[in-house]
């Protein structure tokens, strides 16, 4: 079983090396996002080794759209789950073959559907109306696409409302409870419809709930296959997309459910998924990236007041949008190192608040923290920052996106995955 979180000792040692690499750090780099590229590769191998070989692992681009990482992912033999046409283009340009791209946008235009069908990517329809649009377009073109339909199993929301999508009311997919017969009728009407898709949320949904959602859609798929057997010996639903959503740990001391354990639970609850009648698609994002990335951000000022101390640093709500707006739902562990990257020890008598550089009050990424004595010029290491961070970058105050650097555990040096934005890049963005 692979470890779930990177250790603070490893991060500190990587940062010490990074400081010495003059091609990497410049005085303008007040914050850098690091990715352990071996860790990402291990997660992918884990998926590939645990699931049946025929499964397509379409990694969610929304979790991390860095093109250099996408290009690497493509060489690892996985696919890309894309939730918008621009993400679709990123995947195409990074080299993903059409049959490895899964297009899931909940708001596809007619021309986007036509583009996807002509390209031959896997397409998951989000509604009855979208199925009708696909039907109309397929009358006019030939397509190699496999088409599925997203079902909301309505098994309830998890602990994080903003990322749970399987409540009774959800903007995603077709709610199953009141639409069972109508969904079956669609399969009768459209012989090109051969897949189902379910994804109930990201991070906040406990594994048993994720599995309950899949089981509910599996029961529907089995019923459809049974009923449609009257017309054909072949199973109509051949592709089953189980989505992503495996929660990860943001606390170094908490062990999450591993991919191995998840799969074992899934096999017990849904054995029919593994008896060869379905080709599986997965859409993990957070599991691959969250624990592989971390941020080193310089402590610019330390504001000491009676009873509390505020660290002013260089990333905040711009990079940690969810944490700043929904602080109770999200957590990032924080470690302090000195200006050479060495871990600081001890505990200061005062509690710390970690505030970002933006001009609004919620630009805070941690409160009530016990830390060693923090001084100007130290760095804070923000753990588990690899997913849904840069992809949700906020342009407020127009701060430049930080540099992103990849590294390998076997000491191969650093690889710039994205340069820090220049003032010209920024001017261009707003022009």
Chain positions contacting ligand PLP, by CB under 6 A = 60, 63, 81, 104, 199, 202-203, 243-246, 283-287
DSSP secondary structure code for residue 167 in this structure: S
Complex with ligand PLP: residue 199 or 236, whichever CB lies closer: 199
Complex with ligand PLP: residue 30 or 163, whichever CB lies closer: 163
* Sign, Cα dihedral of 87, 91, 93, 98: negative
Residue nearest to ligand PLP (CB): 244
d(C-alpha 23, C-alpha 131), whole Å: 52
Tokens at residue 172, please?
A: 């995603």
Complex with ligand PLP: residue 259 or 336, whichever CB lies closer: 259
Given a contact cutoff of 8 angstroms between Cβ atoms, the answer to whether 204 and 160 are in contact is yes
Bridge pairing between strands 56-60 and 279-282: parallel
The three-state DSSP-derived secondary structure of 319-370 is CCHHHHHCCCCCCCCEEEECCCCCECCCCCCCEEEEECCCCCCCCEEEEEEC
Q: CB-based burial of residue 99 (10 Å sphere; 0-12 exposed, 13-18 middle, 19+ buried)?
A: middle
Residue 387 C-beta: closest distance to ligand PLP, Å: 6
Complex with ligand PLP: residue 215 or 286, whichever CB lies closer: 286
Complex with ligand PLP: residue 113 or 296, whichever CB lies closer: 113
Residue 263 C-beta: closest distance to ligand PLP, Å: 14
Residue 245 C-beta: closest distance to ligand PLP, Å: 4
Complex with ligand PLP: residue 191 or 260, whichever CB lies closer: 260
Given a contact cutoff of 8 angstroms between Cβ atoms, the answer to whether 370 and 333 are in contact is no
Residue 152 C-beta: closest distance to ligand PLP, Å: 11
Given a contact cutoff of 8 angstroms between Cβ atoms, the answer to whether 362 and 320 are in contact is no
Residue 410 has a CB neighbour count (10 Å cut-off) of: 6
DSSP secondary structure code for residue 274 in this structure: G
Complex with ligand PLP: residue 81 or 378, whichever CB lies closer: 81
Residue 257 C-beta: closest distance to ligand PLP, Å: 13
d(C-alpha 247, C-alpha 326), whole Å: 17
Residue 142 C-beta: closest distance to ligand PLP, Å: 27
Residue 286 C-beta: closest distance to ligand PLP, Å: 4
């Amino acid at each position: 079983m692979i470890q779930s979180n990177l250790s603070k000792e490893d991060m500190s040692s990587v940062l010490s090396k990074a400081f010495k690499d003059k091609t990497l750090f410049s005085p303008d780099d007040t914050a850098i996002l690091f990715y352990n590229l071996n860790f990402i590769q291990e997660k992918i191998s884990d998926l590939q080794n645990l699931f049946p070989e025929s499964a397509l692992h379409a990694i969610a681009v929304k979790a991390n759209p860095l093109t250099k990482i996408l290009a690497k992912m493509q060489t690892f033999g996985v696919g890309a789950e894309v939730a918008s046409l621009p993400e679709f283009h990123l995947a195409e340009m990074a080299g993903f073959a059409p049959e490895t791209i899964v297009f899931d946008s909940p708001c596809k235009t007619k021309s986007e559907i036509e583009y996807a069908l002509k390209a031959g990517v896997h397409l998951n329809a989000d509604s009855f109306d979208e199925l009708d649009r696909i039907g109309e377009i397929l009358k006019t073109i030939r397509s190699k696409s496999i088409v599925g339909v997203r079902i909301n199993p309505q098994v309830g929301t998890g602990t994080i409302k903003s990322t749970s999508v399987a409540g009774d009311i959800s903007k995603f997919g077709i709610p199953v409870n009141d639409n069972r017969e109508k969904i079956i009728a669609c399969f009768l009407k459209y012989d090109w419809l051969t897949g189902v898709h379910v994804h109930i949320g990201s991070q906040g949904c406990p594994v048993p709930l994720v599995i309950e959602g899949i089981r509910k859609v599996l029961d529907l798929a089995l019923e459809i296959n049974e009923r449609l057997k009257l017309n054909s010996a072949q199973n109509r639903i051949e592709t089953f997309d189980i989505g992503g959503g495996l929660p990860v740990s943001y606390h170094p001391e908490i062990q999450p459910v591993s991919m191995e354990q998840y799969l074992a639970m899934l096999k017990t609850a849904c054995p029919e998924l593994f008896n060869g009648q379905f080709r599986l698609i997965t859409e993990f994002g957070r599991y691959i990236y969250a624990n592989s990335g971390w941020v080193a951000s310089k402590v610019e000022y330390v504001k000491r007041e009676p009873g509390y101390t505020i660290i002013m640093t260089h990333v905040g709500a711009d990079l940690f949008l969810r944490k700043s707006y929904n602080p109770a739902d999200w957590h990032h562990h924080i470690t302090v190192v000195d200006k050479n990257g060495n871990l600081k020890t001890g505990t200061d008598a005062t509690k710390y608040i970690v505030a970002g550089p933006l001009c609004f009050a919620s630009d805070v990424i941690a409160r009530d923290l016990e830390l060693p004595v923090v001084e100007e010029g130290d760095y804070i290491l923000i753990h588990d920052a690899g997913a849904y961070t840069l992809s949700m970058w906020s342009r407020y105050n127009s701060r430049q996106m930080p540099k992103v650097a990849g590294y390998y555990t076997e000491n191969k040096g650093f690889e710039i995955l994205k340069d820090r934005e220049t003032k010209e890049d920024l001017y261009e963005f707003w022009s």
